[in-house]
Structures are given as C-alpha cells and as structure tokens.
Amino acid sequence: MTDPIFTAWKPEHSALWGNVPLHLKHRLHQHELFSRPALARLIEAAPKSNYMLIETGRPNERKLWREGEMGKLSGMEVMDAIASGRIWLNLLRVNEIDPQYGKLLDEIFAELEGRIPGFKTFKQINGILISSPRAQVYYHFDTAGQTLWQIAGSKRVFLYPKEPPFLTPETLENVILYNNETGIKYENWYEEYAQCIDLHPGEMAQWPLNMPHRIENADELSVSMTIEYFTTDIRRNMFVNGANGLLRDKLKVKPTRTLSGPSLMAKTALYAAASKSGLLKRGRKQRRPITFTLDKEFLAKPAVSAPAPDAARPAESVLGGD
Ligand SMILES: [Fe+2]
C-alpha cells in the first residue's frame, strides 16, 4: 500500500467534509510530479485548449485582467516570468496533458472515498495554477465540488457565507445557466464576515458547495493544484438551480427550491431539454480575446495598466474552471 496522501486525517474530517471549510495536510508538495522540471515539461506540453494565461493586478491597485497565450519560452522561463510578474497560468485538465496526473487524481479520490462513507464522485478533473507573488482571484463561487492544494508558496483563501446577500438564489441560477458571473455583487464590508485559511506547501482546503471565496497570494510564486468533482448531490443542486433559473428567466415563474421528489424529476427534465436545445449555450459568455503573448518581447516591456471588462468579477473562475 502506498503512503496516504492526507497526512493528518482525523475521524471527524470524514463527517465535516463538504459541510464546513476544512484545512488539511497532504504530501503532494514532495511528489515528483510537482518538481520544477516536471512542471516545466507540463507547461511545454500544454496546448492552448488546456490553459488560461491571465495578467492581473495587485491588491488596492487599478484592476487589470487580460488573457494571453504562451510564446516560445521554455517551461522554466515561463515560471520565472510568472515569479517576477503579475500573471497566473491555469493548466486545465492536466490529466489530458499527462496521464500521470490523472493517475494521481484517481489515487486521491480512491483515498477520499475510502475515508468518507458514501462519498462517490464522478467527472473529476485537476488543474495546476501557477501564479505570481500577490496575484489574486476575485470574489466568485464555483458550481462543482472544489479542493485547493498548495504545492509551493503561500496564499490566503477568504471564504464568505453562501447565503444572501453574499450569494443570492438568482445569482446562483444565472451562473449555472449562463456561466455569467458579472451579476455577483461584492461589497467591502463582506470582509468583516470572511473566514480565512492560510495555505502553505503541504496544506489543502475544501469548502461547502457554492461558497463564495476570493484568494490572495503571499509575496512569492505560488503553485497550487485545483480539483473539481461532482457527486449526485452536486449534480442535483445544478439541475434544480438551473431549472429554477429557466422558470424565473424564461417563464417568469417564481420557482420552489425543492431538492427531491416529482419536482426534482421535472426540473431535471427541464434543464436537460434546455441544455440539449442549445438554449443555454446561446446565453453564455464567450471567452475574452487573447491580447498578449508571453515571450521575450512581452518581458522586455513595462507592465500595461488596462481595466478589466468587469474588474471585480471576471467571467471565468480560476479554480478548476474552464
Ligand atoms: Fe473558485
């Protein structure tokens, strides 16, 4: 038997998983797949469809948020550029780029499913987020289950209640239906209600489904692994909220929020039909254009300061999102 991935799992973590924010220890920061040469190879092997490269702003500075692509730099040079810039590189579905990362994903879920009674997952994907000192991910929430594993550097995760006004049913429905996060409201006073988790190498965080959060890097290069997964409950939440959004948005009906029985079946059918008809795709936001190439020329230029289309709330989620 291989060594456990979670190095300090307590029996109570099995009961707490998914219900409250958890801050746990792991050993992946020492794993060969996360060594600098392995990450450099992964960067060099990633096609454009498997990454997002974003230039972002520092906290308390005019917001910047633009998407780029990697030029002809080596993986090591890309990491050096990120270490000295304001950039994050999200390598998406790394299991598609290198099956070894898929094997690791399988090992993680085999261990979790062994530790948490009744925990059965599907559609698991993992990504690797490499980001600059002080880079940040703005206030948002995710529609699938999430975990965040710190490999190198440190970051602070700010978590907020998943109830109004922090997250309203209408916002949840709009994000599920149209992948459009521009309606997420954020107020500075939310910070008084935030719960913080400081993540260092060898630590990971997991939090309840849909819980709003934002992330700030410490003053050093950060490498994290993000994992997204579904369970039947998470899929049910998506179907019901998606169908409720359709009822409210298209049929002008005030929906109930039942998660079981005939209502669930009807909503599942409604959401599936809308999804199949292409109705949802038409309303979904397109990815923003590519406006820079990370190459030697880019590195020689001074930093650009341009506002994001909606600076406080970028359309794509960083954690596991694509
Ligand atoms: Fe997220």
Q: What is the pLDDT of residues 184-205, one digit of tens each?
A: 899 999 999 999 999 999 999 9
Q: Is 246 helix (H, G, I), strand (E, B) or coil?
A: helix
- Residue 303 falls in which region: left (phi positive, over 0), alpha (psi -120 to 50) or beta: beta
- The 3-state DSSP class for residue 259 equals coil
How many angstroms does the Cα of residue 293 sit away from the middle of ligand 1? Answer: 25
**What is the Å distance from ligand 1's center to 26 Cα?**
20
Specify the 3-state DSSP secondary structure of 252: coil
Using the mean position of ligand 1's atoms as its centre, give its distance from the Cα of residue 273 in Å: 28
Q: What is the pLDDT of residue 174?
A: 82
Task: Please list the alpha-helical segments (H only) found in the chain.
Answer: 11-16, 36-45, 75-83, 94-97, 99-115, 169-178, 232-249, 261-277, 279-283, 296-300
Q: How far is the CA of 228 from the centre of ligand 1 (A)?
A: 10
**pLDDT tens digits, 105-127:** 999 999 999 999 999 999 999 99
Cα(64) to ligand 1 centroid in Å equals 19
Distance 141 CA to ligand 1 centre (A): 5
Ligand 1 centroid to Cα of residue 319, in Å, is 4
Domains defined along the chain, listed by start: 11-175+182-230+291-300 (2.60.120.650), 232-277 (no CATH)
C-alpha of residue 147 to centroid of ligand 1, in Å: 9
Q: Ligand 1 centroid vs 317 CA: distance in angstroms?
A: 6
CA of 140 to the centre of ligand 1 (A): 6
User: What's the predicted TM-score (pTM) here?
Assistant: 0.85
* Rama region for 93: left / alpha / beta (φ>0; ψ in -120 to 50; rest): left
294 DSSP assignment? E
> Are 223 and 152 within 8 A, CB to CB?
yes
101: its two tokens = 């990362």
Contact 172, 210 (CB under 8 A): yes
Residue 206 has pLDDT above 50, yes or no: yes
pLDDT digits (tens, 9 = 90+) for 215-269: 999 999 999 999 999 999 999 888 887 777 766 766 666 666 666 666 666 667 7
